[in-house]
Amino acid sequence: MILPVVLYGNPVLREVAKPVGKDYPKLKELIEDMFETMRNADGIGLAAPQVGLTVRVIVIDVSPVKEDYSELKDRNTNTAVLINPIILEHSGEIVQKEEGCLSLPKINEKVSRHNTIKIKYLDENFVEHIETVSGFFARIVQHEYDHIEGLVFTDRISPLRKQLIKSKLIDLTKRNVDCKYKFK
Ligand SMILES: [Zn+2]
């Protein structure tokens, strides 16, 4: 089921999400709905707060951008489900790259992030994984991890850039936005 995407300005995006247990009701359906919602909106990553649930669940599907990044071609799967993820280490150089977000349609800004991170998470079967990831995949994970910590990518841009997009953010808060997917 396609769910409405929570846009910037909704306070749910500012909450620190809670860990989920195996007994979380309808977790499998939530994960399926998140994938469907993300793909419908042409996204490559989505965190549960973006569909209004303050739980630590992230879905990723890099298929649309796989050919653009060698580190994505090397991955044996295009999709990932990250439950209760923890970033254990940041390393590598700081890389600046343009990002966008389904919760902030039509806004793209350069964000500085570490190139490499070591993550620990549970997959959809509650199997624990510890993985070191780099490049674009590491960027997606850091962007989505921000969401479960109550942050959005525009929190990480310079004050000058933020000033320059201020009117766009205000329009977004007023839901004065041209957005092709359902939102709330
Ligand atoms: Zn986002």
Per-chain residues with Cβ under 5 A from ion ligand 1: 101
**How large is the average pLDDT for residues 155-163?**
96
Q: Mind listing the pLDDT tens digit for each residue in 97-122? A: 999 999 999 999 999 999 999 999 99
Q: Which of 89, 93, 144, 149 is catalytic?
A: 144
Which pLDDT belongs to residue 75? 81
Residue 6 counted as domain residue: no
**Would you say residue 63 lies in a domain?**
yes
CB 130 within 8 A of CB 119: yes
User: What are φ and ψ of residue 118, in 5° steps?
Assistant: -105, 125
pLDDT above 90: percentage of residues in the chain = 92
Q: Report the separation in Å between the CA atom of 183 and the middle of ligand 1, taken as the mean of its atom positions.
A: 14
In-domain check, residue 2? no
The whole domain housing 110 covers: 11-173
Q: What is the pLDDT of residue 72?
A: 85
**Biggest alpha carbon–alpha carbon distance for the chain:** 45
User: The domain spanning residue 158 has which CATH number?
Assistant: 3.90.45.10
> Across all residues in the chain, what is the average pLDDT?
96
For the chain, the domain total comes to 1
Confidence at 71, pLDDT banded by 50, 70, 90: confident
pLDDT of residue 24: 96
C-alpha pair distances (Å), 49 with each of 10, 108, 126, 147, 157:
10, 20, 20, 7, 21
Q: How many CB atoms lie within 10 A of CB 88?
A: 12
Q: Is 123 within the bounds of a domain?
A: yes
Cα(25) to ligand 1 centroid in Å equals 24
How do 79-99 and 109-122 pair as beta strands? antiparallel
- Residue 98, pLDDT score: 96
Q: Can 144 be counted among the known catalytic residues?
A: yes
On whether residue 1 sits in a domain, the answer given is no
Q: How confident is the model at residue 96 (pLDDT cuts 50, 70, 90)?
A: very high
CB proximity list for 91: less than 8 A, separation 6 or greater: 114, 115, 116, 117, 118
Q: What pLDDT, on a 0 to 100 scale, did the predictor assign at position 184?
A: 94
Q: Is residue 180 part of a domain?
A: no
- What pLDDT, on a 0 to 100 scale, did the predictor assign at position 50? 98
Is residue 17 included in any domain, yes or no?
A: yes
Confirm if 158 and 24 have CB atoms less than 8 A apart: no
> Does pTM surpass 0.95?
yes
Mean pLDDT, residues 61-87 taken together: 90
Cα–ligand 1 centroid distance for 17 (angstroms): 14
Give the model's pLDDT for residue 45: 98
Could you tell me the strand order of the sheet in which 45-47 lies? 45-47, 57-61, 79-99, 109-122, 128-134
**What pLDDT does residue 153 have?**
98
Residue 119 counted as domain residue? yes
